[in-house]
Structure 1
Amino acid sequence: MLPRSLKSKGKLPVPWAHQGFTCHAGRRYMAYVSNVEVIPSEDGKSFTVPIPEDSFETYDLDPPPYTVETTKNQLKQLYRDMTTIRRMELVADRLYKEQKVRGFCHLSSGQEAVAVGIEHAITRDDKLITAYRAHGFTFMRGGTIKSIIGEILGRKDGIGRGRGGSVHMYAKNFFGGNGIVGAQVPLGAGIAFAQQYGETQRATVSLFGDGAANQGQVHEAYNLAKLWNLPVIFGCENNKYGMGTSVERASAMTDYYKHGYFIPGLRINAMDVLAVLSAMKYGKEYILAGNGPLLYEFQTYRYSGHSVSDPGTAYRTKEEVQAERANDPIITYKETLNKWGILTEEEAKAIDKDIWDRVDREAHEAEDMAPPETNLDVLFEDTYARGSEPPQRRGRNVDETYYRG
């Protein structure tokens, strides 16, 4: 294992090229080959677990540690969080197919390790912004299952008051859920820029999909972030397809972690929640040390189509999806915890049942929520900051002027 390299402000780490995991259909990543030497009996006591040596590829950057310090409590919570997101997405899928969900519904089944690994490495005071596949991130940022499902259903007590639907969800220090492809990347750079004024020990994570990776606004954001040395980790969630177009057909160079040119990059096996956790801890420390931005590529896979209306079968084979499921982030992680003696099969089944019951219960409660009231007061809510609303709102002409009662 090579040591992490955190240089003084204004200096880049020594370039290091790691020959990491391969990326091809079938088998992509090595399994864990090391056991944990000492596991404490106390659930809250820290110890170190290994990360497979094929977890990272680097660009002008030393790799993160191939170990991560954790506790049994955290290891079990990682499993709970990923399982909760998976179950929540299955419920959302069912509700959409029952025609109870309007508009788009983008699911992240298969990508749970990204949202969970990131959130366990940062704090709620750090900032995060992402694209439209945002249910898991919303949950990890503090949204409740009921408020998320309620929002998907367009209910009044949804996390966006029923206005945003599946895409536009927000929480404290979570800036969405954004529907315009790639638009959140310059917004993320702006959030990081603001953090240089009074929040110097806070990081920004700005996420986007591989379908946005070649956009001009994305590369403009890279340029400004490096020019101004912003504390931001840009993260490309590469699930191999932008809608129905494979990355090989869309990009002349699919090494997205190298697209920052002058920004150090890291490709991560994002089917492994512990690899994501290690990389994010390392990255946060790096950017807060004044080294400037990083560009991460989270190699992952979505089992469903681009949205629920897309069966996902016209542009990829069933055999490909089946082969990718062999690397399922939840199943392989459970097997690892079982091998380490941290989570037995019986305990996992009990956790699964508890989560399924909880998600189903909160989903039913969300279905019982009332829709927003159909009046203009509700329509104009949140257009202005509370208390600053004008007494009238103009329409297309003077006859359509609306006067607040």
Structure 2
Amino acid sequence: MMQEIETSIVSPKILEFSKDVILELYKDMILGRTFEDMCAQMYYKGKMFGFVHLYNGQEAVASGVIKALQPYDYVCSTYRDHVHALSKGVSAREVMAELFGKETGCSKGRGGSMHIFSAPHNFLGGFAFIGEGIPIATGAAFQSLYKRQVLKQTEISPVSVSFFGDGTSNNGQFFECLNMAVLWKLPMIFIVENNQWAIGMAHHRATSSPEIYKKAQAFGLPGVEVDGMDVLAVRSATLEAIERARKGEGPTLIEALTYRFRGHSLADPDELRSTQEKEAWIARDPIKNLESYILNNKLHTKEKLENTKKQVKDIIVDAVDFAIASPEPKVEDLHKYLFVND
């Protein structure tokens, strides 16, 4: 008889965290927001080219999930990947230089905005097409399991996290990988960043089942819906999923309800969403909410938070200076890095 699994936890318990952990989350969210704001400035100044998709408004998801991981865990992103990379530990210098197309970028200037990658940080890349990263993360989770169970190389089970949007949840890769991850009990977490819009299509108009976390029921894994504007709620849900994965109990699907404050990309005039809708979500800004929580509970002083913002601003200014001063890739190296021995 198949074991019954709880497949819907609408309101996960929010855990208590130390003031140091909360400050780390705050700083990481400020880093993401400040970095993206600077990207917008540099893009409109002609320092970046192609499509650039910003993460403003969704910082609680990246910080809440990735800062709960260990360095040996894996993260697979989307085309909205800058902040995921920063949270995983890739330096602001490397990410900014990559956006500038410079040789010092984390992908040697060959990837640009949508293909941030860093092997040293187990950051498996951003992907320009939706759903591409899910099978990659599934493969990483499989090799983690294989190394531990078959090769006996380690007692640790590195967890693989796959980020994707609400639009991707209607694609085949999503369902195929859910099935495979449950079948093999892979140490994996599927993170749906439901920002309500798939480019210009409202989520509720694109799917017959708007509550994505309930799709876990078909495959027999826990499906969790969490407030994606509350970093502490996201972290709490993630820690439970990590514990389940490391114990060999298989994957978890987490749907984080969030919102992007800017258009789909910096080339998007953002005329499809109503002003009322945007204002309602902006009023729930995850950074301002966490700041209020910190001050109301007297975890840190206003001066401490302002100093944190200044530290982050200095990091971003330094990243831009570094990117501007960095060399362009050489024309004769056009084919470099295409193969492993390059």
How would you bin the TM-score normalised by the shorter chain? over 0.9
Unaligned runs of 5+ in 1: 1-9, 21-55, 57-62, 390-405
1:244 alignment counterpart: 200
Unaligned runs of 5+ in 2: 149-155
RMSD (Å) for aligned C-alpha atoms? 1.6
Deviates more, 1:356-365 or 1:223-232: 356-365
Following superposition of structure 1 onto structure 2, how do residues 221-240 of structure 1 map, counting pairs within 5 Å? 221-240=177-196
1:32-86 C-alpha deviation (Å, 9 max, x unpaired): xxxxxxxxxxxxxxxxxxxxxxxx2xxxxxx4x3323x32221111111100110
1:60 alignment counterpart: none
2:315 alignment counterpart: 358
Give, in whole Å, the separation in 2 of the partners of 1:287 and 1:358: 34
1:252-301 C-alpha deviation (Å, 9 max, x unpaired): 11111112322220011011111111111100111222222111101111
1:77 alignment counterpart: 24
User: Does residue 212 of the first structure (1) align with residue 162 of the second (2)?
Assistant: no
Give, in whole Å, the separation in 1 of the partners of 2:7 and 2:251: 17
Task: Quote how far apart the aligned CAs of 1:11 are.
Answer: 4.6
Task: Quote how far apart the aligned CAs of 1:358 are.
Answer: 2.4
Secondary structure of 2:229's counterpart equals coil
2:151 alignment counterpart: none
Secondary structure of 1:139's counterpart equals helix
1:116-158 C-alpha deviation (Å, 9 max, x unpaired): 1112211011111111101011111121111111101101101
1:402 alignment counterpart: none
Secondary structure of 1:169's counterpart equals coil
Give, in whole Å, the separation in 1 of the partners of 2:313 and 2:296: 24
One-letter identity of the residue aligned with 2:122: N
1:346 is aligned, of 300, 303, 327, to 303
Give, in whole Å, the separation in 1 of the partners of 2:260 and 2:8: 28
User: Does residue 117 of the first structure (1) align with residue 64 of the second (2)?
Assistant: yes
Task: Quote how far apart the aligned CAs of 1:315 are.
Answer: 1.2
1:182 alignment counterpart: 131
Contact (CA 8 Å) 2:8, 2:213: kept in 1 or not?
no
2:78 is aligned, of 131, 140, 156, to 131
One-letter identity of the residue aligned with 1:160: S
Counting helix residues as a fraction of each chain, which structure ranks higher?
2
2:260 alignment counterpart: 302
Give, in whole Å, the separation in 2 of the partners of 1:246 and 1:351: 36
One-letter identity of the residue aligned with 1:279: A
TM-score between both structures, scaled by the size of structure 2: 0.92
Contact (CA 8 Å) 1:101, 1:153: kept in 2 or not?
yes
Which structure has more RCO (C-alpha within 8 Å, separation ≥ 6)? 2
1:38 alignment counterpart: none
Secondary structure of 1:297's counterpart equals strand
TM-score between both structures, scaled by the size of structure 1: 0.78
Distance 1:17 1:258, change over 3 A: closer
Give, in whole Å, the separation in 1 of the partners of 2:215 and 2:334: 42
1:3 alignment counterpart: none
2:222 alignment counterpart: 264
Contact (CA 8 Å) 2:181, 2:250: kept in 1 or not?
yes
Secondary structure of 1:235's counterpart equals strand
Aligned-residue identity in percent: 34
1:197 alignment counterpart: 146
Task: Quote how far apart the aligned CAs of 1:17 are.
Answer: 5.8
Task: Quote how far apart the aligned CAs of 1:167 are.
Answer: 0.8
Contact (CA 8 Å) 1:156, 1:162: kept in 2 or not?
yes
Give, in whole Å, the separation in 1 of the partners of 2:20 and 2:62: 18
Following superposition of structure 1 onto structure 2, how do residues 386-401 of structure 1 map, counting pairs within 5 Å? 386=341
Secondary structure of 1:237's counterpart equals strand
Query: Which of the two has higher C-alpha Rg?
Result: 1
Contact (CA 8 Å) 1:11, 1:291: kept in 2 or not?
no
1:219-258 C-alpha deviation (Å, 9 max, x unpaired): 1111111111211111111000000111011111111111
Give, in whole Å, the separation in 1 of the partners of 2:269 and 2:300: 35
Distance 1:16 1:358, change over 3 A: closer
Contact (CA 8 Å) 2:228, 2:257: kept in 1 or not?
yes
Following superposition of structure 1 onto structure 2, how do residues 37-52 of structure 1 map, counting pairs within 5 Å? none
Contact (CA 8 Å) 1:234, 1:294: kept in 2 or not?
yes
Give, in whole Å, the separation in 1 of the partners of 2:136 and 2:326: 32
One-letter identity of the residue aligned with 1:179: A
Secondary structure of 1:198's counterpart equals helix
Give, in whole Å, the separation in 1 of the partners of 2:304 and 2:213: 38
Give, in whole Å, the separation in 2 of the partners of 1:191 and 1:233: 12
Give, in whole Å, the separation in 1 of the partners of 2:8 and 2:190: 20
Give, in whole Å, the separation in 2 of the partners of 1:190 and 1:306: 29
2:152 alignment counterpart: none
2:291 is aligned, of 301, 314, 334, to 334
Secondary structure of 2:124's counterpart equals coil
1:315 alignment counterpart: 272
Give, in whole Å, the separation in 2 of the partners of 1:245 and 1:363: 34
Give, in whole Å, the separation in 2 of the partners of 1:133 and 1:123: 22
Contact (CA 8 Å) 1:269, 1:300: kept in 2 or not?
yes
Give, in whole Å, the separation in 2 of the partners of 1:107 and 1:216: 26
Give, in whole Å, the separation in 1 of the partners of 2:51 and 2:241: 33
One-letter identity of the residue aligned with 1:259: K
1:143 alignment counterpart: 90
Aligned residue pair count: 330
